[in-house]
């Protein structure tokens, strides 16, 4: 029953995850320039996922690693597209992920923070 409803409405669900390892928690910095750059980053990340998608979760989380005390900055979003063709929707979401990566990496460069992109393995 649910499968029939989803196929009739053309619903497609997407989950974007992007993670970076950094040497210190730059997002907690009190430096005015860093705080301003962080506010710009948050604003841009909120608006990157287009309004045409139903957003269930959009978050940016920082985790500290126990082995080397570095930090992981992880962006994740979960949303649904109810319009368009599957390939068109997929291409739009792929472009959205690229924009998210560009924004986060630009933030790290702006505040002069070294970073390394982490490859996330997903299981469905």
Quick: pLDDT tens for 71-121.
999 999 999 988 777 788 889 899 999 999 999 999 999 999 999 999 988
Its CATH class, for the domain covering 11-118, is alpha beta
Note the pTM of the prediction, 2 decimals: 0.85
* DSSP H helical ranges for the chain: 2-9, 32-48, 86-110
Measure the CA–CA gap between 82 and 6, rounded to whole angstroms: 9
| Structure token digits, residue 87 | 């390939």
Confidence of residue 9 (pLDDT cuts 50, 70, 90): low
Helices (H) then strands (E): counts for the chain: 3, 4
Residues 6+ apart with CB under 8 A from 64: 25, 70, 71, 72
CA atoms within 13 A on the CB side of 76: 11
């Amino acid at each position: 029953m649910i499968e029939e409803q989803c196929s009739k409405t053309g619903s497609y669900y997407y989950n974007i995850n992007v993670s970076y390892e950094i040497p210190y928690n730059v997002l907690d910095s009190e430096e005015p320039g860093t705080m301003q750059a962080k506010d710009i980053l948050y604003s841009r990340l909120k608006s990157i996922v287009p309004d045409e998608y139903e957003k269930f979760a959009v978050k940016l989380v920082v985790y500290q690693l126990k082995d080397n005390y570095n930090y992981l900055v992880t962006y994740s979003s979960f949303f649904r597209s109810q319009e368009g063709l599957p390939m068109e929707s997929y291409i739009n979401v792929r472009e959205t992920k690229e924009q998210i990566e560009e924004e986060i990496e630009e933030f790290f460069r702006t505040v002069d923070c070294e970073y390394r992109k982490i490859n996330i393995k997903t299981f469905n």
